[in-house]
Structure formats: C-alpha cells, structure tokens
Amino acid sequence: MKILFCTKNDIFGASILNFILPRLAGHELRVFLSDKTRSAENQVPELSEEKFLERDFPLHVVFPAIDAGADAGELLTFEGCARKYGVSIEISQKINSPESEQEIRAWGPDVIVSARFSLIFKGNIERIPRFGIYNIHPGALPGYAGLCAPLRGLVNGEEKLGCTLHKVDMGIDTGPIYSVSTMPATPSASVFSHIGHLYEMGLTSLLEVLQTLEAGRQPQMREQTQEGFRYYHLPGSEVFEQMRRLGICLVSFDAYSDLVLRFCPVSTSPKLLEIVSPAAVEQAAADIHTQGIDGVVERLRAPLVGEGLALRT
C-alpha cells in the first residue's frame, strides 16, 4: 500500500518514526512533518519549556550535531530515518492548501496516518485516500479529545491513560473508534514519561488495521456519540499551578535525558554528552525565560560548532 504518514517535527515524532518505519517495510511511504507553534506556547512559561525540550533543543542542537557525524545511535534522527529507510521526509506547513492537495492527489496514497501531526485535515484531503485517514490520539476518547490529553488525565486523577486509534471525519477527534489502549497512570513519573508509550500502543493498533485492509477487509469500528465527549484546549497557568499542588511534573529531566541519549551514537562528543545531561538540560530549560530560546540554543551550539558538529539546523 501507499501510506502517507504524518507526524510532528519534534523528538516524539522522531521516536514515532523509529518505531513504525521498520514495521512498514514493503509499503510505499512518504512522511510529512508538521511544524506548528501555537501562540500560547510563547506566552505560558511551562508551555515554552515544553516546546524548547520537544522541538528547539533536539532539532537545533542535538540532531544537527548527530547528523554532522558518521555514526548513528539506537534511535535515528529524521535525517537518519530518511537515509536508512529510503523514505521522503518533508515539512508540511499547510496540509489543506491547493498545492498540498495537488501533491497528495498526484502521489495517490491508499491511506493517510496522523500521529501527533498538529494539523487538522479538511474534507478535500480526507476524500483522497481510498481507505481514509486514521488518527492516533494520545487520549481515551470520547472523554479526552483535544490537546494535552495525558496531562489532563493525570491532573484528573485517572488510574489509566489511554490512546485511541480512530478514523478521521469532519470533526476533531470525533470519528469512529477502532481501539482504545490503556496503560497505568504514574503521576510521579511526569507527563513526559507517558507520551512515548501511549503512541506505541496506538501504532501497534494501526499495524492491525493495515493488515486488515491489506487482506481486503474493513476494520471493525464503533461510532462515537456526544455522550461523555469532552474537548480540551491547551492548558493555562492555572492548570500548571494545579499540577504543582498535586506533585505532578511536566518533565522528568532524567527521563528526558535518557530519551535524547538513545539518539546519540557511542562516538558522541563529550561536549554533547555534557549538554544533554539531566542537570544541563534542566538549567537550559530554566534559562530560556531570561535568555530567550534563540539565545539558549546559540549558547548550547557554540561549543559544538567549535568541534564541527552543529553545522546544520
């Protein structure tokens, strides 16, 4: 099958590709990455830190340093994925534009997959693939539609967090459901520590759907109803204050550093290893509020440029 796989230009998007690309061998693939920044991410301090850790730090500091070298780590950067799996990976800024529609129609995907894509598909794109569009949503639908579902689940005291694989319709997170997979909620482990596991559960369900479609059968779906449906927007400062009262952290810097190190090859520069240590990353995340994200990125890149490692962004 021809599969257009859509994910996000961030560290979790790279992790998602590392999980799914080797499991889609034999299919014809293209990858689109979204690169969207919402205004609140530059206004709410906690959201700015999250953006820095998920996007700016890996994309502009760590990944360019790795790509400038000859070796790869356990996990591959976007450039590493493109090379190893021979897949086109490109940024999509306006997925519903006439230009994007024309490009997608010309390629003719059988199915489109969205996993952390951030952009909403409109009807002109939804009608292109013969098997439709499937979305992996890191929340248990219908009660956790919208943004930051794992965070909301932890704040609401859920014992389990869910990941839903559903078909895309004209609404947002409203389409018929194939599966809702769950994992134990561990508030002490931070919101960040749950996200990768949630997506992997959804991706595993996706593989089942693709096998069913390949066999010429339609996956069994169940329609959503409005009963129990709740849509969440980006959290504001009051939600993060509530998290502090509950003892819930947005990011465990130990877990974050462990994930980043999985992208780093054995031959990684000592300077880069120092930069991605938990203490250094925590300090960098704090510094963005006084130095700005661009200032912190340039400061972190400076010693790597000196070693010829951070030549590309």
Per-position pLDDT tens, the chain of length 313: 999 999 999 999 999 999 999 999 999 999 999 999 999 999 999 999 999 999 999 999 999 999 998 899 999 999 999 999 999 999 999 999 999 999 999 999 999 999 999 999 999 999 999 999 999 999 999 999 999 999 999 999 999 999 999 999 999 999 999 999 999 999 999 999 999 999 999 999 999 999 999 999 999 999 998 889 999 999 999 999 999 999 999 999 999 999 999 999 998 889 999 999 999 999 999 999 999 999 999 999 999 886 666 554 4
What are the residue ranges spanned by the domains of the chain? 2-306
Looking at residue 234, its amino acid is L
Q: What is the dihedral of CA 287, 8, 67, 200, to 10 degrees?
A: 100
- Whether the upstream peptide bond of residue 150 has omega within 30° of 0, thus cis, is no
What CATH architecture is 2-306? Answer: 3-Layer(aba) Sandwich (3.40)
* Closest to 19 (Cα-Cα) out of 203, 166, 264, 211: 203
Question: Which of 177, 139, 174 shows the shortest CA–CA distance to 155?
Answer: 139
Q: 207: which residues sit within 8 A by CB, 6+ positions away?
A: 23
Within the chain, residue ranges assigned H as helices are 11-20, 45-51, 57, 63-67, 78-85, 98-107, 123-126, 149-155, 192-214, 237-246, 253-263, 270-275, 278-291, 293-306
pTM of the full structure: 0.96
